[in-house]
Structure 1
Amino acid sequence: MLDVRNLTRIFGTRAAVDHVSFAVDRPAFVGIIGRSGAGKSTLLRMMNRLTDASSGQILVDGQDVLALRGADRRQWQGNCAMIFQQFNLVPRMDVASNVLHGILSRRSTLATMFNLWPRADILKALEILDRLGIAEQAPKRAEALSGGQQQRVAIARALMQDPRIILADEPIASLDPMNAQVVMDTLKRINVEDGRMVIANLHTLDTARRYCDRVIGMRDGRVVFDGTPDQLSTGVARDIYGADASFNESATSTAIPTETAPDRAYADRMLS
């Protein structure tokens, strides 16, 4: 489905992403880990076409999405939804309208200016909110919700696009452990139940091991690890983070209680 080839982004004299290559041939849950500045966010922004690449290719079913322009580029951005660390909601707008903004580019400018939406779109937005367990929040302003609830609204907005791929840039970095768990459970359920590929930048090793089918480690813009969560040992983590023997995994942990974590064996059975 997805084939990234020698993807590079240069800012000035520095390569933020340096000849990154990897392929994903099924709707897996892929985690990208690495210290701040490793190039994780730039990589996702290039995939979504929010940032231009300096060189390389991103092939989806054989088509290079980096070559898309105009309406074709916007269509790709609809098929490849982006979820951000800071939610990127309209704070004073109600939750349902924020979700409907996921299809803003598909509706007339005049109608959306007056917040006029077809009944079918409104019902779909409410159905998605119900699925994510926050339907009762639909009439409230987004700013009135907790951080975890706001991130679920952002996920609902992404689902409104009906994307093939969901990119999540540090989706739990600003959340407390319990809300982080809820958000990660939600993304995993979407991956398993909908068969949508999810690629998430993560800053916590425990989260990557618990939720991901595959983990890619980046350091200084390059891929230095590509394997399964079971292969993500403490020694490998030291290499990814450029740390010495004093490296402590607790520094990258969200401390999500093990007893409330999702059953990986169950998730693997659902994916098989």
Structure 2
Amino acid sequence: MLRIEQLTKTFGRNTAVDRATIEVDRPIMLGIIGRSGAGKSTLLRMLNRLTPQSSGQVYFEDREITALKGAEMRAWQADCAMIFQQFNLVPRMDVVSNVLHGTLNRRSVLATMFNLFPQSDIHRAIDILERLGIAEHAPKRAEALSGGQQQRVAIARALMQDPRIILADEPIASLDPMNAQVVMDTLRRIHEEDGRMVIANLHTLDTARRYCDRVVGMRDGRIVFDGTPQQLTTGVARDIYGADAGFSEAATSTAIETLDATQRAEIDAARVTV
């Protein structure tokens, strides 16, 4: 379904991604882990064609994505939606309009200039917000929402594109443990209920083990691990992160054991609505 062959990106003398090769034969939730600077974000940006590769190819259903140009490349970027760590919303714009921006790739220049959306798209945007448990915030400015709520708005915007693949670049890195769990629950349910492939860059081992069907580990631009969550032992993690015997998984944890009963109840309520 998705085939990455010897994908490489260099910046001058520095190699950000070094001959990455991954093959995925069905829609799964794939986690990519590694320390900062390992090449995770660059890899996702090449998949989405935001960053051109230096060499190598990407194929989706036997179509070479890295050869696409112009309108065909833009169509692929609609099929391969990106979610970013910093949300990339328009802060002073209302939530539903931010979600509707997921349709910009298929709208005319005139409609975009005057912010004109068909009623069918508006209803669909609200339905998606309802699915993600934040429909009541639709008329609010995006900047008025919490970080976790803003990230769910960003996910809703991605869903407006009706993508085949969702790429999430450190989607919980700037969130507290409670909101991180709600966002990851959301991505997992989208994968399971919609049958969409989700590829997420993650810093944390516990998150990768809990939510992902498969985990890829990157170190210095190279893939050094590709296996199941069960195979992601502490020893393997130590190698991925380039750590010594003193490495502790607690340093990468997003566990919520320290949250109080009220916060746990809020997470359980959010799971019901997601």
SS at match of 1:172: coil
Aligned to 1:194: 194
CA distance in 2, matches of 1:124, 1:109: 21
Distance apart, 1:105 and its partner CA: 1.7
Aligned to 2:162: 162
CA distance in 2, matches of 1:124, 1:256: 33
Structural mapping, 1:238-257, within 5 Å: 238-257=238-257
SS at match of 1:189: helix
Aligned to 1:108: 108
One-letter amino acid matched to 2:198: V
Distance apart, 1:22 and its partner CA: 0.7
Alpha-carbon RMSD: 1.3
State the number of aligned residues. Answer: 261
Distance apart, 1:114 and its partner CA: 2.1
One-letter amino acid matched to 1:106: R
One-letter amino acid matched to 1:115: N
After superposition, give the CA deviation of every residue in 1:117-163 in whole Å (9 maximum; x if it has no partner): 10000000000000000000100000000000000000000000000
CA distance in 2, matches of 1:258, 1:92: 34
Aligned to 2:224: 224
Aligned to 2:26: 26
CA distance in 1, matches of 2:59, 2:197: 15
Point out 4+ residue stretches in structure 1 off by more than 6 angstroms: none
Structural mapping, 1:251-266, within 5 Å: 251-257=251-257
Aligned to 1:236: 236
CA distance in 1, matches of 2:215, 2:178: 23
CA distance in 2, matches of 1:162, 1:233: 36
CA distance in 2, matches of 1:107, 1:122: 14
TM-score by length of 1: 0.94
Distance 1:201 1:7, change over 3 A: same
One-letter amino acid matched to 1:241: Y
Distance apart, 1:115 and its partner CA: 1.9
SS at match of 2:159: helix
Distance apart, 1:255 and its partner CA: 1.9
The percent of aligned pairs where both chains have the same amino acid is 76
CA distance in 1, matches of 2:93, 2:105: 18
Distance apart, 1:258 and its partner CA: 10
Aligned to 1:265: none
Unaligned runs of 5+ in 1: 263-272
Structural mapping, 1:30-179, within 5 Å: 30-179=30-179
One-letter amino acid matched to 2:81: A
